[in-house]
Amino acid sequence: MIKIAPSILSADFSRLGNEITDIRSGGADYIHFDVMDGEFVPNISIGIPVLKSLRKITDMFIDVHLMITTPLRFAKAFCDAGADLVVFHVEADSYQNISDAIDVVKAQGKKVGLAVKPRTPAAVLYPFIERLDLVLVMTVEPGFGGQSFMPDQLPKIKELRHEIERRGLDCELEVDGGVDPVTAKLCKAAGANVLVAGSAVFGKADRAAQIAAIRNA
Ligand code: DX5
Ligand code: ZN
C-alpha cells in the first residue's frame, strides 16, 4: 500500500493547525516532520515544542525525520513529545550510538527508521535493517525543501526493496526529496511505499488533488 507523507517543512507555520486539517482531509497517511540542527545539515527548522503542539491537535501518525548529529541525545525526547516513528541518519554517529538510539526508540514503544543521504550506499543500513520499521532514501541532499529529485538514487531504492524482500522483513521503504506526481511514479516502480512530498503538496492550493496525483502516479 502506498502511503503519502506531506512534509510540513513547506507548510505555512503561521496556520499549521489548518495545514494539518487540510492534508488530513486530503487523504495524507503520515505527517512528515523535518528536524534540522544547523550542523548535520546547513539549515535549522523545527523541534520538540512544535511537535508537542502538533501532538495535542491531531492523532495522525507523525513521522519525525531527524537531520541532527548524535541522535541518541534526543531520541527519547522526540518519543516523549509525540512522535509515532523516529527516523535518524546512519551517517550521524558511530555504529554503537546509532544502535543504542534504535534501542531507545523501541523501548518507548515507537517505530524506528534509518535514513541515508544520497552518497551513502544502501549496504550501510544492512547491519541494522532487521531491527527497523522503515528505511528512508534521500533523493536530494538533506537540508532544504523544493530541490530537484535525483534519479541516480533509484537503483538504491531498488536494491533496498530487493533486500527487504529477500530477508522477508516488515520494513517500509520511504523516499524523501523532490517527489511530485512525475517522480513519484519512478519511486513506486523502484519499490518505495512511503512517499514524502513537501513543496508538491503545500505549494498548491488543492492539497487533496496533489496527494491523489502522487498516490496514483
Ligand atoms: C529535506 C527534507 C524533506 C523536504 C522535502 O531535507 O528532509 O522532507 O521537506 O521537500 P520537497 O518535497 O519539497 O523536496
Ligand atoms: Zn524529510
Centre of ligand 1 from the C-alpha of residue 46, in Å = 13
Asked if 178 and 195 touch (Cβ cutoff 8 Å), the reply is no
**Mean pLDDT, the chain, integer:** 98
Helix H or strand E encompassing 32? strand 30-36
pLDDT, tens digit, 9 for 90 and up, residues 94-147: 999 999 999 999 999 999 999 999 999 999 999 999 999 999 999 999 999 999
User: Among 4, 8, 9, which residue has the most ligand 1 atoms within 8 Å of its CB, making it the best to mutate?
Assistant: 9
The residues that are catalytic are 34, 176
pLDDT, tens digit, 9 for 90 and up, residues 8-37: 999 999 999 999 999 999 999 999 999 999
pLDDT for position 93: 98
As a whole number of angstroms, the distance between CA 106 and CA 130 comes to 13
Centre of ligand 2 from the C-alpha of residue 130, in Å = 22
Query: Is any ligand 1 atom within 6 A of the Cβ of residue 145?
Result: yes
Centre of ligand 2 from the C-alpha of residue 107, in Å = 23
Count of helix runs (H) and strand runs (E) in the chain = 8, 8
pLDDT, tens digit, 9 for 90 and up, residues 36-94: 999 999 999 999 999 999 999 999 999 999 999 999 999 999 999 999 999 999 999 99
Atom of ligand 1 at shortest distance to CA of 197? 12
What cell numbers appear for 141 in the block? 541532499
Query: Is any ligand 1 atom within 6 A of the Cβ of residue 178?
Result: yes
